Structure 1
Amino acid sequence: MGNTDKFEMIANIYDTSERIQIAKVSSDAIREYLVDANSKHAIDFGCGTGLVGMNLLNDFNSMLFLDTSQHMINQIKQKISDFNIQNVDTLCFDFEEKGLSDLHADYIFMAQVLLHIDDVELVLSRLFDVLNEGGHLLIVDFNKNEKVVSDIVHNGFNQVKLTDIMTKIGYRNIQSKTFYNGNKIFMGHDASMFILDSQK
């Protein structure tokens, strides 16, 4: 996945107060879409240091923290150990490189991850394969922002265009909304964030 080397370098200083705050807002937004999740298995995809997933641990039966950065995964393992957390697992894996046929989940959520993914359609297709029938993929990310100019991340997403891509893959019951506006939260620019819920 894009920018893995950058995340490897900042893993041990990643949990800033701003990131913790955005993670709380994101996990609260995700929680609104969960249905009977306490019997379900979830994947925190592109989990980073697990800031979003840790907030949602009690909402699910079990959770897998998945990231392309081994250093980020190491941070999570430390948290799991420190807090003696049960029913969780970790995996360092890159879905842009290949798919994983033996991985399955009822819920996959990804918060501010899609903007780092070069081939969005490919990864969303591979995640579709991971979902159990009726399972949900929840995406939290930035709305398209023309002020952001970067050669390492997408400058946000148009919700309608993203919905079109996902519909083509096979996702259904797609709904999305903007839920948060923040100052200087996206590459130093004011930005808004959306949440998208979809089902297999």
Structure 2
Amino acid sequence: MGNTDKFEMIANIYDTSERIQIAKASSDAIREYLVEANSKNAIDFGCGTGLVGMNLLNDFNSMLFLDTSQNMINQIKQKISDFNIQNADTLCFDFEKEGLSDLRADYIFMAQVLLHISDVELVLSKLFDVLNEGGHLLIVDFDKNEKVVSDIVHNGFNQAKLTDIMTKIGYRNIQSKTFYNGSKIFMGHDASMFILDSQK
């Protein structure tokens, strides 16, 4: 997945107060869309150091932390060990490079992950295959921001266009809203974040 090398380098200093604050806002937003999730299995896709997923551990029966960066996964393994967490597992894997046929989940959430993925449609299609029937994919990311110019990430997403892409793949009951505004949170620029809920 895009920018893995960069994340390998910053894994041990990733949990800044700003990231922790945004992760809390993101997990609170995700929690609003959960239905009887305590019997369900979740994947924190592109989990980083697990800041969002750790906040949601008690909402699910089990959680798989999945990332392309082994150093990020190592940070989560340490947290799982330190806090003696029983309902979590980890997997280092790159969905852009290979498929995973036996992985299944009721909920997949990805927070500030999509902007690092070059082929958005490909990865969203693969995640569709991983979802159980009736399962949910929840996306938290930045709204489209023309001030951000980068050759390594998308400059956010237009919610309507993303909905169109996902509808084409087969997702249904798609709903989205902007839930967070922050100062200098997106590559030095003020930005807003949205949450999108979709169902298979």
* Common fold by TM > 0.5: yes
Distance 1:90 1:71 in 2: 12
Instruction: Quote the offset at 1:98 in angstroms.
Output: 1.4
Distance 1:99 1:184 in 2: 36
Instruction: Quote the offset at 1:132 in angstroms.
Output: 0.1
Superimposed CA distance per residue, residues 142-186 of structure 1 (whole angstroms, 9 cap, x where no aligned partner): 000000000000000000000000000000000000001000000
Distance 2:21 2:88 in 1: 23
Instruction: Quote the offset at 1:99 in angstroms.
Output: 1.3
Distance 2:198 2:118 in 1: 21
Instruction: Quote the offset at 1:66 in angstroms.
Output: 0.1
Instruction: Quote the offset at 1:87 in angstroms.
Output: 1.2
For the pair 1:66 / 2:66, whether they are aligned, the reply is yes
Distance 1:100 1:125 in 2: 12
Distance 1:56 1:49 in 2: 14
Instruction: Quote the offset at 1:27 in angstroms.
Output: 0.1
User: TM-score scaled to structure 2, two decimals?
Assistant: 1.00
Secondary structure at the residue paired with 1:90?
strand
Instruction: Quote the offset at 1:111 in angstroms.
Output: 0.2
Secondary structure at the residue paired with 1:15?
coil
Please provide the CA RMSD for this pair. Answer: 0.3
Distance 1:115 1:139 in 2: 11
Instruction: Quote the offset at 1:54 in angstroms.
Output: 0.1
Instruction: Quote the offset at 1:12 in angstroms.
Output: 0.2
Instruction: Quote the offset at 1:106 in angstroms.
Output: 0.1
Distance 1:147 1:140 in 2: 19
For the pair 1:31 / 2:37, whether they are aligned, the reply is no
Stretches of structure 1 that go unaligned for 5 or more consecutive residues are: none
Instruction: Quote the offset at 1:59 in angstroms.
Output: 0.1
Secondary structure at the residue paired with 2:145?
coil
Distance 2:138 2:175 in 1: 10
Instruction: Quote the offset at 1:67 in angstroms.
Output: 0.1
Secondary structure at the residue paired with 2:132?
strand
Secondary structure at the residue paired with 1:58?
helix
Structure 1 stretches of at least 4 aligned residues deviating more than 6 Å after TM superposition: none
Superimposed CA distance per residue, residues 11-65 of structure 1 (whole angstroms, 9 cap, x where no aligned partner): 0000000000000000000000000000000000000000000000000000000
Distance 1:23 1:130 in 2: 24
Aligned residues: percent identity? 94
Secondary structure at the residue paired with 2:98?
coil
Distance 1:98 1:114 in 2: 17
> How many residues were matched structurally?
200
Stretches of structure 2 that go unaligned for 5 or more consecutive residues are: none
Secondary structure at the residue paired with 1:63?
strand
Distance 1:42 1:2 in 2: 22
Distance 1:162 1:86 in 2: 35
